[in-house]
Amino acid sequence: MSAPPKSSGEPITDRRQLAAYIEQGCKPAEDWRIGTEHEKFAFRLSDHRPLPYEGPDGIGEVLTRLTRFGWEPVVENGNVIALTDGACSVSLEPGGQFELSGAPLRTIHETCEEVHEHLRQVKEVGRELGIGMLGLGFNPKWPRADIPWMPKGRYRIMRDYMPKKGGLGLDMMTRTCTVQVNLDFASEADLVRKFRVSLALQPVATALFANSPFTEGKPNGFQSFRSHIWTDTDPDRCGDLPFVFEDGFGIERYVDYALDVPMYFVYRDGRYLDVSGQSFRDFLDGRLPGLPGERPVLTDWVDHLTTMFPEVRLKRFLEMRGADGGPWRRLCALPALWVGLLYDGASLDAAWDLVKDWSEEERAGLRRDVPRLGLRTPFRGRTVRELAAEVLEIARAGLKRRARNDRWGDDESHFIETLALIAETGVSPADELLERYRGPWQGDVDHVFTEFAY
């Protein structure tokens, strides 16, 4: 959620208070929910250019017109920069990527209905303004210099800091889109097992959803260039977190990791204060150079947790972050994959049995190689395609055991089928795009804006 926060809560002086915040996410299985988020590129139909914020067909106008559907605007410095409707929100990424952060829902059926209604609203406004929306992992055509920046205070600070830490951070901010799902845990022990399974298998999701083979109109040599970008964004806050697999790992160890991630900003009195590179540990001690003598409040910690970008992120839930954005059917398939693996006890056991003896080097190798090779990545005498097929069978069985049926009596397992076809054929979304580019598109990537838009 990128709306301006409100500084609130008692001052925090002890790291135990930070762990206690995360521990509050523990809940019984009957209260577990599914929160799905997806981003998409907004573009003009006339020339396929990304939308600026300003103007009669800009992002600001899109947000304003969406309020007819009951959304409440969130304003920063006079600009509408987000919308809210209960627990659901629409927000903007730095380059105008349009994000739906869905409400915590009980079933994937409900998630799909939510996505469908959101896309219906967006398409209605799009027809009026002559704009479209595209689900892809990386902007297929436009260079970074052609991407307008959104008027949000936190992005200015991040924009200045990113190039100090990696070569592709600004591309991450302006030219990538993802779909992710946020899932719950019952206890610290349940959290640890889910964290380990999802980190180990995140490259499988990356391979199945790989959908970013173009950069500035040409093939870039990757299946998921979006995933590769995270390897050269900021080593302090990205990666596959090998410490999660160490004996004794728990919430307090994650807190220590988060405390060692340099800060970006502190929000005070309606302004983002630049404290980039400074230490939250110093903040706890009242020694933050940017706010001398002041101690953090709870919202400062909540904000800080959002500035970490590992493959799986822990807040008061776990965020699965490895997948490229894509078309409607895959927006429902991503939560199906992870719910099937993590929300059924037998499936979680089977998934853990699959990954528990993988070495740190093997996990790192998958993270390194899958962005380029995708399903063809070799692993333990077979390929990631074969591994993905096994993972999908575990997930499918978990969804069937969940037995959450829709009004027609269908359970959630059919949402896996689009991924099962990818694993069966070995043809990833990126392969499909490249085949068209080299065939009927005759090297013209502009076709993606017409054939793959929502």
User: Pairing between strand 218-219 and 238-239?
Assistant: unpaired
Q: What is the Cα–Cα distance from 415 to 399, expressed in whole angstroms?
A: 9
368, 335, 374: which is closest to 33 by C-alpha? 335
Residue 3: is its pLDDT beyond 50?
Answer: no
Reported confidence tier of residue 106, pLDDT bands at 50, 70, 90: very high
Structure tokens belonging to residue 344: 């059924």
Distance CA 366, CA 241 (A): 13
Residue for token pair 């959304």: 71
For 79, how many CA atoms within 13 A lie in the half-sphere containing its CB?
18
In the CATH scheme, what is the code of domain 15-442?
3.30.590.20
Distance (Å, rounded) from C-alpha 58 to C-alpha 70?
20
**For the whole model, what pTM was predicted?**
0.96
Q: Residue 8's pLDDT band (boundaries 50, 70, 90)?
A: low
Beta strands in 159-250 (DSSP E): 178-183, 214-215, 218-219, 238-239
For 415-439, what is each residue's pLDDT tens digit? Answer: 999 999 999 999 999 999 999 999 9
Query: What pLDDT sits at residue 11?
Result: 86
Pairing mode, if any, of strands 238-239 and 309-310? parallel
- The residue type found at 137 is G
Q: Please determine, for residue 1, whether its predicted confidence score (pLDDT) is greater than 50.
A: no
Q: Kindly report the CA angle at 313 between 309 and 318, in degrees rounded to 5?
A: 155
Alpha-carbon gap, residue 72 to 84, rounded angstroms? 5
> What is the rounded distance in angstroms from the CA atom of residue 434 to the CA atom of residue 225?
13
**Which SS3 state, helix, strand or coil, does residue 310 take?**
strand
> How remote is the C-alpha of 189 from its chain's centroid?
24
Spell out the residues 6+ positions from residue 315 whose beta carbon is closer than 8 angstroms to its own: 22, 25, 302, 305, 306
Q: What tokens were used for 200?
A: 């180990």
pLDDT of 349 > 80? The answer is: yes
- In the predicted structure, residue 5 carries a pLDDT above the cut 90: no
Residue range 138-171, pLDDT digits in tens: 999 999 999 999 999 999 999 999 999 999 999 9
Share of the chain above pLDDT 70, in %: 98
Return the axis-axis angle of helices 360-373 and 188-209, rounded to nearest 10°: 30
> What is the rounded average pLDDT of the residues 294-322?
97
Whether 6 has a pLDDT exceeding 60, the answer reads no
Q: Is the pLDDT of residue 121 over 70?
A: yes
State residue 230's pLDDT score.
Answer: 98
| Residue 311 CB neighbour total at 10 angstroms | 24
Q: What are phi and psi of 182, to 5 degrees?
A: -110, 125
Residue 412 structure tokens? 């959630």
Taking residues 249-262, report their average pLDDT.
97
pLDDT at 10: 75
Contact 102, 117 (CB under 8 A): no
**In which band, very low, low, confident or very high, does the pLDDT at 115 lie, cut at 50, 70 and 90?**
very high
**348 vs 328, residue with greater confidence:** 348
> For residue 277, what are the CA distances in angstroms to 4, 309, 336?
21, 16, 38
Asked if 375 and 383 count as a contact pair (C-beta separation under 8 A), the reply is: yes
Predicted pLDDT of residue 2: 43
Q: Which of 205, 223, 224 is nearest to 392 (CA)?
A: 205
DSSP states of 320-373 as a string?
EEEEE---HHHHHHHHHHHHHHHSSHHHHHHHHHHHTT--HHHHHHHHHHHHHH
| 361's tokens | 């080097």
Interacting residues of 225 by C-beta distance below 8 A, sequence separation 6+: 137, 138, 212, 213, 214, 215, 371
